[in-house]
Amino acid sequence: MNKKMKLLCMTALIAGLLSACSTTTDPADAYKGETEQQIYMKGKTALQDKSYSEAVKRFEALDVQYPYGPDTENAQLYLIYAYYMKEDYSLAVAAADRFIRIHPTNPNVDYAYYLRGVSDYYQNMGIIEKVFAIDLATRDLSQIQKSYSDFNELVTRFPNSRYTPSAHQYMVYLRNVLADHELHVAEYYYNRRAYVAAANRAGGLVAHFQGAPSVVDGLVLMAKAYRKLGLTKLEQDTVSVLKYNYPNINVDYDSDYKL
């Protein structure tokens, strides 16, 4: 592509962006010819029709134009869901936080907690991760940890919520991801001959993530690290714990520990 064509393409792109910005309507000015009820009902219809962008616009307009209207509180809850379905996860989390703060006694506030947790979970995943089975344990887990905390708050505050069973399932999965992450870090240290760091990290995994599948590998790695360090008593104690809790695990004493 020559310089002239590149310049034309860039000009067209900028023009398109400016056009898009110029057509954006402020929520305070949107749907001025409609009543509060009309904006709300058409927003619900848009949501049912999976026209999530239109639903977002209507619920945002309702929130701005009629902040104390009889339907605005419900609209704010629907807005969280619309953001989530649009995959605007950061906006969904922000809307959920706001709803929880402003309407803590709303009978459906548990749904806001749930959507916040799910949005935080998916916020950590890019397009590739959604399509392919990417190991989340190898990524930055700040959002995963936040999502776990969100779900934990839901099940603690609302143990009888209809969303609690699903939240529990997410928590089990996320806990296993966090445990796998600890194992990856411990293996990283071990492979670089930082055996003290490897043993400590694996020990933390075993102590804080009991029941997670990677605990077995954590115990094996601890024993391997203690062997490298010449700490025979700690190695034997770790193997004893491994054999007691996982009697079907094969430990090869003649070379290295193997699962």
Q: Is the distance from CB of 171 to CB of 151 less than 8 angstroms?
A: yes
33 has pLDDT over 90: no
Q: Per-residue confidence at 46, pLDDT binned at 50, 70, 90?
A: very high
- Spatial CB neighbours of 230, under 8 Å, sequence gap ≥ 6: none
178 has pLDDT over 80: yes
156 has pLDDT over 90: yes
Instruction: Report the alpha-carbon distance of residue 93 to residue 86 in Å, rounded.
Output: 13
Residue 52 one-letter amino acid: Y
Residue 243: the pLDDT is: 87
Global pTM value: 0.76
Q: What is the mean pLDDT of residues 1-15?
A: 46
Q: Per-residue confidence at 125, pLDDT binned at 50, 70, 90?
A: low
* Half-sphere exposure for 124 (CA within 13 Å, toward CB): 22
Between residues 15 and 100, the one the model is more confident about: 100
Instruction: Report the alpha-carbon distance of residue 147 to residue 142 in Å, rounded.
Output: 9
Q: Per-residue confidence at 134, pLDDT binned at 50, 70, 90?
A: very low
For the ranges 16-20, 74-78, 229-233, the lowest mean pLDDT is seen at 16-20
Percent of the chain at pLDDT > 90 equals 65
Residue 143: the pLDDT is: 79
92 has pLDDT over 80: yes
Between residues 125 and 255, the one the model is more confident about: 125
For the ranges 12-26, 44-58, 75-89, 140-154, the lowest mean pLDDT is seen at 12-26
Instruction: Report the alpha-carbon distance of residue 182 to residue 176 in Å, rounded.
Output: 10
Instruction: Report the alpha-carbon distance of residue 37 to residue 55 in Å, rounded.
Output: 14
Q: What is the mean pLDDT of residues 52-62?
A: 95
